[in-house]
A and B are shown apart, each in its own frame.
Chain A
Amino acid sequence: MEIPYTQLLKITKEYKKNNAGEQYRVSVLSNIIINQIEPFIEYEFQKNGINALITFGNYDNILQDSLENNETDAVLIFWELCNIRDGFQYKANLLSKEEANDTVQKIKSEIDFLIESLSKTKIVIINKFSSLLFNSYFLKKNNYDLICDELNNYLESKILNNFVLIDIDKVIARVSVDRAIELRNFYSSKALYSIDFYKVYSNFIAPIMLSVLGKSKKALILDCDNTIWSGILGEDGKDGISMSSENKKGVVFEEVQTLAKSLARNGIIIGLNSKNNEDDVNSVLRDHKGMVLHESDIVIKKVNWNDKVSNLNEIAKQLNIGKDSIVFLDDSDFEINLVNQYLPEIKTIQVPEHIYQYPQLVRRNFNDFYNIKETKDDLNRIKLYQIESLRVESKSEFGNIEEYLKSLNLEMYVYRNSPDLIDRMAQLTQKTNQFNLTTKRYTVSEIENFVNSSEHLVMAFEVNDRFGGFGVTGLSIVEILGDKAILESFLMSCRVLGRNIEFKFLNEIIIFLGGLGVKNLSAFYNKTFKNNQVSDFYGKAGFKIVNQSEDRIDYVISLDEYEPKILNYINVNYER
């Protein structure tokens, strides 16, 4: 976040070379020396691909300068209380009631003049008056505070629709008083603010101008598991997830959902992009009592087992919005990095590791959605988008994510009949619902028997990538009868989905069985409510169907005919 000053100058210079074309003109009027803000405002524009031309009025000449801004796109005004009269931050406190009143009346008429002369300007950004920089130490309100309050009330009551009033105290608070003020330059040359202040301030107000230019974000696309609720729906079940303040884990998710809902109220598109069974998620949206977001708040849903990049592409296409107007929120390193790599124009936000920071992180990004003219139409717009998304026929495109998978440095550790993993393996059979071909549940002692039996092969795997490890997340149990074998269990945690690890694992099992003299391998899929996504897994792996009924498919493959998928980006290790 914190870019050093020289670095910022360098970046801005680079941008300038590349962003030719029309310029957005900003005039800055002030009664202090403010010119140092120039590169910071420029930077905010340039990083959004806009060329800006910043010009400055004369020192302490706001009223005169306000008459000469017909050509400009935006006017930015720093009218500082400390300099409305020379030394006002200390002189204000010795003024008699009459004198104070005279000053206030005088400034009020100047405000009238300013508003009148800028009534035709496209957009005027003006800071509220602030006494904070000089009065933060005082317990009691003094004249300086009172005059400040009165002028602000007046300003607020008088401004026109083309004015945006900035609560500059919020910026000062974010920076801190001591770091926002540049006393050295203030006393020598009336330059009041520090570069730290300019950085934060420019970033704070940029959304106003970006909104005018149609560059605001329009859609917030959310993952589901551990993003809008705590837990994994496919594994923990509808009753096991939580997003309610009645539950310790759910409390932050209720807040995040409410924040998203308030965006929806202001015309922002809320969408879902989640690896889950659509029916399960719909059921939660329909009647989970903790949910704040409901079907009616959600414009578009991509709840399926496709990669999230393809889903985001479809979302942009179906809603007919630019990818650069989408913000995507997800908890997984894998998904966030995938999107960053393939769709860099989409802004991503990752659920923080410390979950208590989550709602505040969402707030920090709220201004991305800033809309200068929020109207009643905004709510209708949600309906329009909903219709639009139904209208456009969706066509799945399979993006080539192989390059990304290569960059992950996937390491797979395979364990055979490992007595150390018995507890974990039993737990996997108990807990895994979605990527589970047969959904056979086993106890610890049953697994122990398999591990010690010469007629069974129990294989498990662990996966690491450059972001970290997932632990033991996959298991297969094979019964071996001479030169025949049968896959009794094949399961994997959904956390490691999307990396083709399941195929690599199957590969390793088959190689090993071949070494044991197995010629034919049978397998079967047992349909449950939750494992629809793997209904064709063995078919994709090259097995042939020998029998098919409504809730079971039987397969077989001759090991001689098995053609392994080439997955060189997964490195296999044995017995870590």
Chain B
Amino acid sequence: MLIMRDKIKNVMALVFEIEPSQIPDSASTSTIDNWDSMNHMNLVVALEEEFNILFSDEEIVEIISLDAVEKSLSSKL
């Protein structure tokens, strides 16, 4: 589980142009400055490519925190 979380943090760090250490477990669109709607699109693409999955429309709207991303990804892998 920890490995998955770290993987997500690494992807987020690349997309948001910050260090993985700057992403707390509580990260969400309201706590990370660079997690705006534009970067959210990029994050979705990056996660889809990294984990080789596809998010549905509904999921894209829901995955706006690290916890939510992890939960959604876990259900797909």
Contact = CB atoms under 8 A, between A and B. Distances in A.
Interface string A183-203: 011001101000100000000
Interface of B is mostly: helix
B57 A9 contact: no
Nearest to B37: A189
A6 B49 CA distance: 8
Query: 5 closest A-B pairs (Cβ-Cβ)?
Result: A9-B14, A35-B38, A5-B49, A6-B46, A5-B46
Contact of B15 (A4, A9, A185, A188): A9
Interface string B4-33: 000000010011010000000000000000
B50 interface: yes
Interface string A30-45: 0001011000000000
B10 to A, nearest CB: 8
Interface of A is mostly: helix
B41 A6 contact: no
Interface string A1-45: 000111001100100000000000000000001011000000000
A13 B14 contact: yes
Nearest to A194: B45
Contact of A189 (B11, B15, B41, B46): B41
Interface residues of A, number: 15
A185 B57 CA distance: 9
Contacts of B37: 189
Given A33-B38, A35-B38, A189-B41, A4 B49 contact: yes
Contact of A184 (B17, B42, B57): B57
A9 B37 CA distance: 18
A41 to B, nearest CB: 14
With most chain B CB atoms within 10 A of its CB, the pick from A5, A36, A185, A189 is A5
B14 A6 contact: yes
Interface of A: 4-6, 9-10, 13, 33, 35-36, 184-185, 188-189, 191, 195
Given A6-B14, A13-B14, A185 B46 contact: no
Contact of A188 (B11, B17, B46, B57): B57
B50 A6 contact: yes
Nearest to B14: A9
A347 B44 CA distance: 35
A36 B49 contact: no
A250 to B, nearest CB: 44
A195 B17 CA distance: 18
Contacts of B14: 6, 9-10, 13
Contact of B42 (A4, A13, A36, A189): A36
A249 B43 CA distance: 50
B22 to A, nearest CB: 14
A13 B41 contact: no
A198 to B, nearest CB: 10
Contacts of B46: 5-6, 9
A36 B11 contact: no
Interface string B32-63: 00000110011001100110000001001000
Given A6-B11, A6-B46, A6-B49, A185 B17 contact: no
B72 to A, nearest CB: 16
A13 B37 CA distance: 21
B75 to A, nearest CB: 19
Given A10-B14, A13-B17, A188-B57, A5 B41 contact: no
7 contacts: A6-B11, A6-B50, A33-B38, A36-B45, A189-B41, A191-B41, A195-B45
B17 to A, nearest CB: 7
Contacts of A36: 38, 41-42, 45
Contacts of A33: 38
Nearest to A39: B42
A189 B11 CA distance: 22
A191 B15 CA distance: 17
B66 to A, nearest CB: 17
A9 B11 CA distance: 9
A549 B45 CA distance: 76
Contacts of B41: 36, 185, 189, 191
Contacts of B15: 9
A322 B49 CA distance: 38
A4 B52 CA distance: 11
B38 to A, nearest CB: 5
A5 B57 contact: no
A33 B42 CA distance: 12
B9 to A, nearest CB: 12
A36 B46 CA distance: 11
A175 to B, nearest CB: 15
A36 B11 CA distance: 16
